[in-house]
Structure 1
Amino acid sequence: MSNEADFTEPARVTFRGHGGITLAGDSWGPQDGPLVVFLHGGGQTRHSWKDSGLALAKAGMHAVLLDARGHGDSEWAPEGDYRRDAMVQDLMAVLEQLGKPAFVVGASMGGLTGLLATVHPRHELITGLVLVDVVPRPERKGVERVLNFLSGNPEGFATLDEAADAVAAYLPHRRRPRSPEGLLRNLRQRADGRWYWHWDPAMMSGSGEDIDLHSEVLEDAARRLTIPVLLVRGALSDVVSETGVAAFRALVPAAEYTEIGAAAHTAASDANDEFTDAVVDFVRAKTVRS
Structure 2
Amino acid sequence: MSSVTAADGLALAVEVAHPTGDPTVLFAHGFGQTRGAWTATVSALAARGCRCVSFDQRGHGESDRAPGGAYRIEQFTDDLARIARAQPQPPVLVGASMGGLLGLVTAAEASPLPYRALVLVDITPRWETAGIARIVTFMKAYPQGFADLAEAAEQIAAYLPQRRERKSAAQLEPLLRKGADGRLHWHWDPRLLGMVEDSERHQPRLLAAAASVDLPMLLLSGGRSDVVSRATVAEFMQLAPHARHVELPHATHMVAGDANDAFTREIIRFVESLDQPVARKMAGNLSS
The whole-number CA distance in structure 2 between the counterparts of 1:145 and 1:213 is 18
- Tell me the equivalent position of 1:238: 226
Q: Quick one: which amino acid aligns to residue 43 of structure 1?
A: G
Task: Give the deviation of 1:179 after TM superposition.
Answer: 4.1
Alignment of 1:22 with 2:11, yes or no, is: yes
What are the superposed Cα offsets for residues 40-87 of structure 1, whole Å, 9 maximum, x if unpaired?
111110001001111110111111011000101101111323222110
Check the 8 A contact 2:29/2:35 in 1, yes or no: yes
Secondary structure of 1:237's partner?
A: coil
In 2 relative to 1, CA 288–211 (structure 1 residues): closer, same or farther, beyond 3 Å?
farther
Check the 8 A contact 2:21/2:46 in 1, yes or no: no
- Tell me the equivalent position of 1:79: 68
In 2 relative to 1, CA 20–153 (structure 1 residues): closer, same or farther, beyond 3 Å?
same
Check the 8 A contact 2:3/2:12 in 1, yes or no: yes
Q: Equivalences for 1:92-107 in 2 at 5 Å?
A: 92-107=81-96
1:37 to 26, 29, 36: 26
The whole-number CA distance in structure 1 between the counterparts of 2:21 and 2:108 is 26
1:279 to 251, 256, 267: 267
Root-mean-square deviation over aligned CA pairs: 1.7
- Tell me the equivalent position of 1:109: 98
What are the superposed Cα offsets for residues 218-267 of structure 1, whole Å, 9 maximum, x if unpaired?
00000001000000001110000011111100110010111112210000
Check the 8 A contact 1:136/1:248 in 2, yes or no: yes
- Tell me the equivalent position of 1:90: 79
Alignment of 1:227 with 2:215, yes or no, is: yes
Alignment of 1:256 with 2:228, yes or no, is: no
2:37 to 41, 48, 54: 48
1:177 to 166, 169, 172: 166
- Tell me the equivalent position of 2:282: none
The whole-number CA distance in structure 2 between the counterparts of 1:102 and 1:185 is 26
The whole-number CA distance in structure 1 between the counterparts of 2:274 and 2:219 is 15
- Tell me the equivalent position of 1:140: 129
Task: Give the deviation of 1:30 after TM superposition.
Answer: 4.0
In 2 relative to 1, CA 30–179 (structure 1 residues): closer, same or farther, beyond 3 Å?
closer
Secondary structure of 2:108's partner?
A: coil
In 2 relative to 1, CA 196–178 (structure 1 residues): closer, same or farther, beyond 3 Å?
closer
- Tell me the equivalent position of 1:9: none
Matched residue count:
278
Percent identity, please.
42
Secondary structure of 2:49's partner?
A: coil
In 2 relative to 1, CA 102–187 (structure 1 residues): closer, same or farther, beyond 3 Å?
same
Q: Quick one: which amino acid aligns to residue 270 of structure 2?
A: F
- Tell me the equivalent position of 1:198: 187
What are the superposed Cα offsets for residues 75-114 of structure 1, whole Å, 9 maximum, x if unpaired?
1111323222110000111122224211111001111111
Task: Give the deviation of 1:287 after TM superposition.
Answer: 2.6
The whole-number CA distance in structure 1 between the counterparts of 2:49 and 2:277 is 17
1:212 to 183, 200, 216: 200
Task: Give the deviation of 1:289 after TM superposition.
Answer: 8.5
The whole-number CA distance in structure 2 between the counterparts of 1:201 and 1:274 is 32
Structure 1 length as normaliser, TM-score?
0.91
The whole-number CA distance in structure 2 between the counterparts of 1:233 and 1:173 is 16
Q: Quick one: which amino acid aligns to residue 171 of structure 1?
A: L
Structure 2 length as normaliser, TM-score?
0.91
Between structures 1 and 2, the one with greater helix share: 2
Q: Quick one: which amino acid aligns to residue 20 of structure 1?
A: G
Secondary structure of 1:125's partner?
A: coil
